[in-house]
Every structure is written in structure tokens, then in C-alpha cells.
Amino acid sequence: MIEGQKGLLVFDSIDQGFAGWLKSQLGQMSDKPISHVVYSHNHADHVSGGEMLEADGVRYISHELARDSQMRSRLKTRYADTTFHEGLDIDLGDRRVELRYHGPNDGRGSISLRVPDQALLSVVDWVLVDRMPFMDLARYQIDGMVHSTEQVLDMDWELMAPGHAGMGGKAEVRNYLAYITQLRDLCMEHVVAGTPPEKAADLIAADLGKVDSFRALNQFDAWVRMNATGVMDQLARVEGFIDPFPPVGGTLD
């Protein structure tokens, strides 16, 4: 939540339970009312229950692709009344908040939120600090993740506050970018070579494990092979290879 002279901006409603709790606690947090509810992307685990925050004058905002997806999937939330294509700046009086779209990465319509006077940047799901990407990256677009993360590293900020895992600075985000870039490149090599998925996952895990800063990521041992098979499957499909790569232990039945 971000406070300005004109009101409070809430970044994601999460679900009905959280949104209802937040509304009940506002009086203890600030004497300002909610003026804006911003949705980070389309996924239900972050933007459900928005209707719980409705009040006179509250403006709901998302990227146009996020709202289209929410409406198409009949997501139980309050849909945005304001959407944007590339970017939107919000005036909170004494504070400006900048919303930007960086292309596909995770879900649809995922955006960054920057608060210049606090040197703060927040994104949800597609950048993580000190943690691995989730399991087989089924909802991610790996090339888009790399491209979007490169973009946010070029922006002016000091503290990254992702929607999952911890908070950190540019050093941690550069390490994350290095990991997903090397993961993608190694997976592409094995897709082209036709390496069997089980063997490829072992080889990729071993190569990534040679980098101390990668091996230190939370869930490395649990998810590295899943990361590998998921990205191989994605790249095989995107690049037009005939046979998709199943998850480790899975089949093509």
C-alpha cells in the first residue's frame, strides 16, 4: 500500500479474505481513504476480491490485457475501470506512482509499479529475489521474463519488492537474471541436441549448480530439474520442434 496526500493506493487485492481484513484495518494505518486499486496482472491469487475495497471515488486500474483475461475467465473481482497499453502515471498529490508494461512474462498484462521518491519498484511473479522460479515455470514465458527483467534493471530504483520471496536490490535481481538467462540457454542447447529430458535435466542442474549464487537460491535443489524440463518443453514448442519435453518422471501419453 502506498500513501499520498490524495489517498491510498493498494497494489493487488489478493482475495476476499485479505481485502476485507485490509479494509477493516485502514483506520489504524492512515487517515486517508483508498483512492486507487491497481492490479499487477490477471492471476486470481493476486487480484481476486477487489470488490471488497469498493467505495466512492476509488479508481480501479490494470493493464488492458489483464482486464480482458479477468473478464474472459469470469474472475470474481471488481474489474478495472481504467486500463492502459504501455504506461500510466498516477498523481497522489505529493507522490507519483508509475505503472509500466514490459511485454509478456508471467500471466497476462503483468506490470511494474515504481515509486520514484522512495526508489521502490514492485513486480509480481516474474522477478524473484533469492528464490527460484516456481517449479516447471508452466505459467511463465521464459524469453519474456529475460527481456522484462533486463528492462527493469535499466530503471531507476534501489529496492525491489516482488510479490513473492524476499526484497532486495539490483545485485539480487542481476543474479536472478543471470540464472534465468543461463537456464534458457542451456535448455535450448539440449532441445537442439535432442538430449533425453531426464538426462538433460541432470546435466542442466549440474551446470547451474556450479554457480554458488544460483545454488544459494531458495528451492534450488527441489526445483532446478523441474525448471529445466519445463523450459525445455516450452522452447521445444515455441521453436517448432516436433516432440515436446515431458516433466521429469512424466510421459507423453
Which pLDDT value is given to residue 252?
44
DSSP letter for each residue of the chain = -EEETTEEEEE--B-HHHHHHHHHHHHHH-SSPEEEEE--SS-HHHHTTGGGG--TT-EEEEEHHHHHHHHHTT-SSPPPSEEESSEEEEE-SS-EEEEEE--SSBSSS-EEEEEGGGTEEE--SSS-SSB---TT-TTB-HHHHHHHHHHHHTS--SEE--SSS--B-HHHHHHHHHHHHHHHHHHHHHHHHT--HHHHHHHHHHHHHTSHHHHTSBTHHHHHHHHHHHHHHHHHHHTT-SSPPPPTT----
DSSP string, 172-207: HHHHHHHHHHHHHHHHHHHHHHT--HHHHHHHHHHH
Q: How far apart are CA 94 and CA 229, in angstroms?
A: 48
pLDDT in tens, the chain (253 residues): 999 999 999 999 999 999 999 999 988 999 999 999 999 999 999 999 999 999 999 999 999 999 999 999 999 999 999 999 999 999 999 999 999 999 999 999 999 999 999 999 999 999 999 999 999 999 899 999 999 999 999 999 999 999 888 899 999 999 999 999 999 999 999 999 999 999 999 999 999 999 999 999 999 999 999 999 999 999 998 888 855 555 555 444 4
**104 residue type, one letter:** P
pLDDT at 241 (0 to 100): 83
- Bridge pairing between strands 7-11 and 34-38: parallel
Which residues, 6 or more positions from 219, have their beta carbon under 8 angstroms from its beta carbon?
Answer: 131, 132
Contact 75, 48 (CB under 8 A): yes
Q: For domain 1-125, which CATH number applies: 2.60.40.420, 3.40.50.970, 3.40.50.300, 3.60.15.10?
A: 3.60.15.10
What is the model's pTM? 0.92
